[in-house]
Chain A
Amino acid sequence: MARLLRPETVSQALRLLADGEVGTKLVAGGTAVMLMMRAGLLFPERLVALEHVADLDYVEVEPDAVRLGALTRLRDLERSVPLASALPTLARAIGFVANHRVRNRATIGGCLSEADYASDPPAVLASLGARVRLRSVRGEREVPVTDFLVGYYETVLEHDELLTEVVIPRPGPRVRTTYLKYVSRSAEDRPCVGVAAYVDADESGRTEEVRVAVGAATANPFMLGDVAQMLGGGPLDAGACRAVGEAYERAIEPIGDVRGSSDYRRKVTGRLVARALETTALSGHGNGAFRL
């Protein structure tokens, strides 16, 4: 049976991790760890519960970046007025995770550290160029979310490291962002495919930077690096949106699961990438999240 440890500060938690033998597991909101333990997939010897750790529950909006404390609950992020005004797409997308009972417990740090592929926030954060701050008794480092997530339920976290903060650069005033959450089954299901789009275009419609992150279809958010290049700086019209969608459809190698086969996800990805870009660039609905 697992031993339960309840540190009250970040440094206490880091010390417990540092002298933790194999079999130590962090638990924040518990919505993932408890399910895995219940399903017999996880047998930790020591559970380091973070719920009493102070000072990691915050939303700080700075001129250049938004900082989210790792233990901030999804429900609080979804309802945060400063977050909704600085990063409306992220706030809305977080409100689509599971249901309010889960969001009342789950934290943003836990969500990223679990690295579940079938999740909404990673794709949105990846499209926004977010970074995560990782701390240990040895020091700290900052890693882009796209480098932090490296496989199915796999991150670059060392055994003694704790994700303490998510740092999201604030997009410039021209930038429009969209997240489309597509659930193939019940409205409370995890995403079958999620598409986060980020478009920076000038008044004439010429694109400076276009990023598209596809979530839930591959181990980690899937991004093609050269979308703006593909467009050659040209305007993001309906044909261009379709072309980007087709490029994603050709390039992605999705997984198959209960929410859809690999082939199905590939087709859906192509159409939804195009739709997300159209919504962002053409519809006038920029900066929102939509559940399909």
Chain B
Amino acid sequence: MEGRTEDVAHPPLLDAEDRVTGRTPFVVNEEVSGMLHGKLVRSSAAHAHLVGVDTGAALAHPGVRAVVTGALLVARGGMELEFGPVVRDQPVLAYDAVRYIGEPIALVVASDPFVAEEAASLVEVTYDHLPAVFDVDEATAPGAPVLFRAEPERDPAFVDVTLRADYERNVCNVFSVVRGDASAAISSADHVFEHVFESPAAGAAPLETHVVVADARGDRVTVWTSTQTPHIVRRQLALLFSLPLNRVRVVVSALGGGFGAKAYAAIEPVAAVASRLVGAPVRIHLARDEEFVTSTKHAMRVRLRTAVTNDGLIVARQALARYNAGAYAGISPRKVMFGAYGLNGPYHIANVDIHVEAVCTNTPPAGAYRGFAINQAAWAYEQQMDIIAEALGIDAAEMRRRNLLRDGDTFCTGETLEHLHFHELLDTVTERIGWDPDAKPERDGDLVRAKGISCVIEGTITPSTSTATVRLNGDGSVDVLTSSVEMGQGMRPALASLVARRLGIDPGLVGVSYVDTDLTPYDQQTTASRSMASMGRASELATDDMVEKVRQLAAELLEADPSDVAVVGGHAQVVGVPSRRLSLAEVVGRSRVGNLHGEGTFVTEGGLDPFSGQGVGSAHWHQSLGAAEIEVDIATGKVRILRYAGALFAGDVVDAVGADHQCEGCLVFGVGNALFEELVFDKGQLTNASLADYMVPSLDDMPDAYGFDLATDENRDVHGLGEPALPPVAPAVANALYRATGVRIHSLPISAERVLRGVQAERRSGGAGGGTGGGTGGGGTGSRA
């Protein structure tokens, strides 16, 4: 029996047992009585006018209850036809034009998902094809096909995003960061380097694909859905049906992965609309090939010009980057801001002139993606740093040491930065990886080994709002009511630890809700590595609010002045008189209040001017470095990552194990991005939309040894760790590859075939490799695309 007592005193950490035993309540397992199943009919045209959608054969198929089309929605009226987080440009179902291959045109609703799938193939769509455009530079060139004839309507909720759209050039937003006089600095600089780098579209590939059950019968709309943004989905559905927010209920249990792809509304609108029309709950669960065309990483191309002194000090940076938004804007209008200050990198640069465009093309919509705009930027500027260092004869680590931001430096946004740790983090990773400025590549037959480093700065979404409720129950256990989404990142156990630490109780006594917007208070979104910083802080404030109520009640019960009562170690006690104390459970019980609620609201202020990029870019700055040792087989071009060392500033660490796991997850993600991952399109048609053809890394692709050092400061904010460890991975690997072979890869991924081509070109041009060769990657004054 002692064992049992022990169990009660130390209940297992939230979610641990459910994860291991397969009981985590994933959204994909939600079932609602009487629900029907929907299968989307998708466009096979990249850009076309819809001439006709013949649903006759599908409707006649046994088991089919309805076929919902865009034309039907137009004819019925009473509901909005478009949705979208910043601009409402995306049709619930296409009714006039289709703008990418895979765009939803109709939803077949049946009693059985396989029947719906069969019948979906019977819907006949007639197109009047239009010229299509897939590349960002082509889309912005004069005479390119135009995707939107009229500027789409805005959602005023996203007030922080100022639109500088130019739809005649297919540009849905532009963001500029301008500081000093970059042109003048460049024209008088000792050296100027210019390069073009590219990143392809990629898939987030969550194990659980998008899934929703919608019930829009009567005067309410309820969705059980796999979203990272419950309150944004709630607003989008309220707009669609012209309902007050409290008539829309969004329920989110655990997600089987998100990685950004499940941010913002996707299939919720069409499921809800179908449910309203059919009069039954409707479930949609995307197949894997559909998942790949629902939300992608932005393809991006950047021309980056950097001017330096002979000593390697960066004096100016100009950049023009185009992020491929795909057919609909999604969150791209905000993403350009992250890309713009992101391209500055973690360096002190007095003269900056960076322009970032989000460009609409006839490809699937790009959305949020782990590392939000920063992966693409770091891939470019961190390789260029190595190119410049080599050209000037400066060690790559030393080059960074001379330029990395220090406390008191002014960032490109005009902010004076404090609490910077870049230099100590650089020392950490170079020591961990065994950095030697004079090291030559190690060769063993066809196998060559070398090391590379990279440094990244990343912001979190600012301004930002989170609210939380903390509830003390009659037995002393505590619940956190939150609309932050658990998607495998361990947000729930981490929040429980945070609140337990504040109260001085066992973390096992703290529960954390799943999301139900009828019950859980507002949170902006679960993205941008913000939950532990923003929702964590809101939960602490809510805990403090609750503690204040405990003190008031305990003071009465203990016949003391409230100012003499403290809550310590799960007890309210009179300060200095340890014997006069009550447990939290006794306070609730004896005062007969049933339970006690505390409320917390955390709001960060900031924002940048979209024309100059000046203002407050981020409530705090993520600082992340990586160092990789790789081995390349020059017979095949295949790169293996042997060792990886990451170092980050993490502020106040709440959950050390969870923090390490998030960094590890970033590394897995980064290995895939660096070496394999690319969505391959042929005239807008995705050609590798399966997990057999699209490669995600397996455990065997992970480095043999890796680790992350977290610089901490318990007096600072909690820094979210969902993303920061990711962006340094690919450029660190690319820089190591160059040192091994003299091959510079400008376009992700670092595929074996690209590397072998480079190795053979290098051999023909007589390059010696090992950081001494020129060839494809040589620097120097001037340009090298």
A247 at the interface (CB under 8 A from B): no
B700 at the interface (CB under 8 A from A): yes
Query: Interface code B749-785, partner A: CB below 8 Å = 1, 0 otherwise?
Result: 0011100110010000000000000000000000000
- Asked whether A271 lies within 8 Å of B698 as measured between CB atoms, the reply is no
Known: A184-B638, A184-B752. A292 touches B701 (CB 8 A): no
Closest to B754 in A: A264
- Distance in Å from the Cβ of A159 to the closest Cβ of chain B? 27
Known: A268-B636, A271-B636. A185 touches B695 (CB 8 A): yes
A97-B784 Cα distance, complex, nearest whole Å = 42
Residues of the B chain whose Cβ atoms lie less than 8 Å from the Cβ of A190: 692
- Distance in Å from the Cβ of B414 to the closest Cβ of chain A? 44
- Asked whether B675 lies within 8 Å of A185 as measured between CB atoms, the reply is yes
Chain B contact residues (Cβ within 8 angstroms of A): what range?
Answer: 20 to 34
Best-buried of A35, A186, A188, A267 by chain B (most CB within 10 Å):
A186
A169 at the interface (CB under 8 A from B): no
A34 at the interface (CB under 8 A from B): no
- Distance in Å from the Cβ of A168 to the closest Cβ of chain B? 28
- Asked whether B752 lies within 8 Å of A260 as measured between CB atoms, the reply is yes
A73 at the interface (CB under 8 A from B): no
Known: A185-B695, A186-B697, A267-B756. A292 touches B636 (CB 8 A): yes
A189 at the interface (CB under 8 A from B): yes
Residues of the A chain whose Cβ atoms lie less than 8 Å from the Cβ of B30: none
In A181-208, which residues have CB < 8 Å from any B CB?
182, 184-190, 192
Residues of the A chain whose Cβ atoms lie less than 8 Å from the Cβ of B714: none
- Asked whether A258 lies within 8 Å of B676 as measured between CB atoms, the reply is no
- Asked whether A272 lies within 8 Å of B635 as measured between CB atoms, the reply is yes
A260-B672 Cα distance, complex, nearest whole Å = 17
- Asked whether B676 lies within 8 Å of A186 as measured between CB atoms, the reply is yes
- Distance in Å from the Cβ of B173 to the closest Cβ of chain A? 34
The residue that B700 contacts in the complex, of A39, A187, A272, with Cβ under 8 A, is: A187
The residue that A188 contacts in the complex, of B680, B698, B751, with Cβ under 8 A, is: B698
Residues of the A chain whose Cβ atoms lie less than 8 Å from the Cβ of B446: 271, 275
Residues of the B chain whose Cβ atoms lie less than 8 Å from the Cβ of A260: 752-753
A99 at the interface (CB under 8 A from B): yes
Residues of the A chain whose Cβ atoms lie less than 8 Å from the Cβ of B751: 184-185
A9 at the interface (CB under 8 A from B): no
Best-buried of B636, B676, B751 by chain A (most CB within 10 Å):
B636
B693 at the interface (CB under 8 A from A): yes
A110-B680 Cα distance, complex, nearest whole Å = 31
A186-B695 Cα distance, complex, nearest whole Å = 6
- Asked whether A258 lies within 8 Å of B693 as measured between CB atoms, the reply is yes
A261 at the interface (CB under 8 A from B): yes
B633 at the interface (CB under 8 A from A): yes
Residues of the B chain whose Cβ atoms lie less than 8 Å from the Cβ of A187: 697-701
The residue that A258 contacts in the complex, of B635, B688, B700, with Cβ under 8 A, is: B688
- Asked whether B635 lies within 8 Å of A268 as measured between CB atoms, the reply is yes
B450 at the interface (CB under 8 A from A): no
Residues of the A chain whose Cβ atoms lie less than 8 Å from the Cβ of B633: 292
- Asked whether A258 lies within 8 Å of B753 as measured between CB atoms, the reply is no
The residue that A272 contacts in the complex, of B636, B693, B757, with Cβ under 8 A, is: B636
The residue that A261 contacts in the complex, of B675, B688, B753, with Cβ under 8 A, is: B753
A290-B638 Cα distance, complex, nearest whole Å = 15
B747 at the interface (CB under 8 A from A): no
B473 at the interface (CB under 8 A from A): no
In B671-696, which residues have CB < 8 Å from any A CB?
672, 675-676, 680, 687-688, 690, 692-693, 695-696
- Distance in Å from the Cβ of B508 to the closest Cβ of chain A? 34
Residues of the A chain whose Cβ atoms lie less than 8 Å from the Cβ of B699: 187
- Asked whether A35 lies within 8 Å of B692 as measured between CB atoms, the reply is yes
A162-B638 Cα distance, complex, nearest whole Å = 40
A257-B429 Cα distance, complex, nearest whole Å = 38
**How many residues from A make CB contacts under 8 Å with B?**
22
Residues of the A chain whose Cβ atoms lie less than 8 Å from the Cβ of B680: 258
Residues of the B chain whose Cβ atoms lie less than 8 Å from the Cβ of A35: 692
- Asked whether B753 lies within 8 Å of A264 as measured between CB atoms, the reply is yes
- Asked whether B636 lies within 8 Å of A186 as measured between CB atoms, the reply is no
A271-B690 Cα distance, complex, nearest whole Å = 30
Residues of the A chain whose Cβ atoms lie less than 8 Å from the Cβ of B690: 39
Residues of the A chain whose Cβ atoms lie less than 8 Å from the Cβ of B672: 186
The residue that B698 contacts in the complex, of A39, A99, A184, A267, with Cβ under 8 A, is: A99
SS of B interface (majority)? loop
Closest to A268 in B: B636
Residues of the B chain whose Cβ atoms lie less than 8 Å from the Cβ of A268: 635-636, 756
Residues of the A chain whose Cβ atoms lie less than 8 Å from the Cβ of B688: 258
A197-B636 Cα distance, complex, nearest whole Å = 18
A35-B288 Cα distance, complex, nearest whole Å = 12
Residues of the A chain whose Cβ atoms lie less than 8 Å from the Cβ of B698: 99, 186-188
Residues of the A chain whose Cβ atoms lie less than 8 Å from the Cβ of B760: 267
A292-B632 Cα distance, complex, nearest whole Å = 11
- Asked whether B752 lies within 8 Å of A275 as measured between CB atoms, the reply is no
A268-B697 Cα distance, complex, nearest whole Å = 22
In B526-564, which residues have CB < 8 Å from any A CB?
none
- Distance in Å from the Cβ of A256 to the closest Cβ of chain B? 10
Residues of the B chain whose Cβ atoms lie less than 8 Å from the Cβ of A185: 675-676, 695, 751-752
A186-B678 Cα distance, complex, nearest whole Å = 13
Closest to A278 in B: B445
A272-B446 Cα distance, complex, nearest whole Å = 11
Closest to B445 in A: A275
In B57-92, which residues have CB < 8 Å from any A CB?
none
Query: Interface code A145-161, partner B: CB below 8 Å = 1, 0 otherwise?
Result: 00000000000000000
A243-B346 Cα distance, complex, nearest whole Å = 52
- Asked whether A292 lies within 8 Å of B676 as measured between CB atoms, the reply is no
A261-B698 Cα distance, complex, nearest whole Å = 23
A268-B688 Cα distance, complex, nearest whole Å = 23
Residues of the A chain whose Cβ atoms lie less than 8 Å from the Cβ of B693: 258
A151-B154 Cα distance, complex, nearest whole Å = 57
Closest to A257 in B: B693
Closest to B687 in A: A258
Residues of the B chain whose Cβ atoms lie less than 8 Å from the Cβ of A188: 698, 700
A275-B700 Cα distance, complex, nearest whole Å = 23
In A66-84, which residues have CB < 8 Å from any B CB?
none
Residues of the A chain whose Cβ atoms lie less than 8 Å from the Cβ of B695: 185-186, 189
Query: Interface code B698-729, partner A: CB below 8 Å = 1, 0 otherwise?
Result: 11110000000000000000000000000000
- Distance in Å from the Cβ of A30 to the closest Cβ of chain B? 15
A35-B760 Cα distance, complex, nearest whole Å = 38
Known: A258-B693, A264-B756. A182 touches B636 (CB 8 A): yes
A39-B692 Cα distance, complex, nearest whole Å = 11
- Distance in Å from the Cβ of B292 to the closest Cβ of chain A? 14
Closest to A261 in B: B753
- Asked whether A184 lies within 8 Å of B701 as measured between CB atoms, the reply is no
Best-buried of A35, A39, A185, A192 by chain B (most CB within 10 Å):
A185
Closest to B676 in A: A185
- Distance in Å from the Cβ of B782 to the closest Cβ of chain A? 31
A268-B638 Cα distance, complex, nearest whole Å = 11
- Distance in Å from the Cβ of B695 to the closest Cβ of chain A? 4
In A252-278, which residues have CB < 8 Å from any B CB?
258, 260-261, 264, 267-268, 271-272, 275
Closest to B696 in A: A186
- Distance in Å from the Cβ of A106 to the closest Cβ of chain B? 14
A188-B672 Cα distance, complex, nearest whole Å = 13
B interface residue numbers (CB < 8 A to A): 446, 633, 635-636, 638, 672, 675-676, 680, 687-688, 690, 692-693, 695-701, 751-753, 756-757, 760
Query: Could you jot down 8 A-B contacts, CB within 8 Å?
Result: A99-B698, A184-B636, A184-B751, A185-B676, A185-B751, A186-B676, A258-B687, A258-B693
Additional pairs, 14, CB under 8 Å, beyond known A35-B692, A182-B636, A192-B752 = A39-B690, A99-B698, A182-B638, A184-B752, A186-B676, A186-B700, A187-B700, A188-B698, A189-B695, A190-B692, A258-B688, A264-B752, A272-B635, A292-B636
A interface residue numbers (CB < 8 A to B): 35, 39, 99, 182, 184-190, 192, 258, 260-261, 264, 267-268, 271-272, 275, 292
| Pairs of residues from A and B, 9 with the lowest C-beta to C-beta distance, nearest first | A187-B700, A271-B635, A188-B698, A185-B695, A184-B752, A186-B695, A264-B753, A185-B676, A187-B698
